[in-house]
Amino acid sequence: MSVAFVFAPRHPTAWLVLGTYEVLLSAAALFAVDAVVVRLGASATRRLLICAAEVFALYNVVLWGHPEDAVAVACLLYACLAASEKQWSRLGWLFGGAVAFEPVVLLALPFLLFAARWRSFPGLLARVAAPTAALLILPLTMNWSVTVHGLLGQATYPSLNRPTPWLHIAPSLGHEGYIGATAVVAAADGPSRLLAVLFSLILGLAFRRRAQQLSVLIAVVALTLSLWCAFETVIAPYYVWPTIAVALIGLSGTSRLRSAATLVFALLADVASNADRNCSGVGFVR
* 95 contacts 76 by C-beta, under 8 angstroms: yes
In a domain, 279, yes or no: no
* 85 contacts 93 by C-beta, under 8 angstroms: no
In a domain, 281, yes or no: no
Model confidence over 165-174: pLDDT tens digits?
888 888 777 6
In a domain, 3, yes or no: no
Q: In whole angstroms, give the CA distance from residue 12 to residue 95.
A: 36
Give the pTM. Answer: 0.87
Contacts of residue 273, defined as CB under 8 A and 6 or more positions apart, other chains included, come to 60, 237, 238, 239, 240
In a domain, 7, yes or no: no
| Confidence band of 147 (pLDDT split at 50, 70, 90) | confident
In this prediction, residue 183 carries a pLDDT of 61
In a domain, 90, yes or no: yes
Measured over the CA atoms of residue 226, residue 2, residue 21 and residue 105, the dihedral's sign is negative
Contacts of residue 37, defined as CB under 8 A and 6 or more positions apart, other chains included, come to 46, 47, 50, 249, 252
Please give the tally of structural domains in the chain. Answer: 1
Q: In whole angstroms, give the CA distance from residue 184 to residue 61.
A: 23
Q: In whole angstroms, give the CA distance from residue 85 to residue 7.
A: 42
In a domain, 176, yes or no: yes
In a domain, 136, yes or no: yes
In a domain, 112, yes or no: yes
Model confidence over 46-90: pLDDT tens digits?
999 999 999 999 988 888 888 999 999 999 999 999 999 989 999
Domain membership of residue 192 as a residue range:
12-273
In this prediction, residue 267 carries a pLDDT of 87
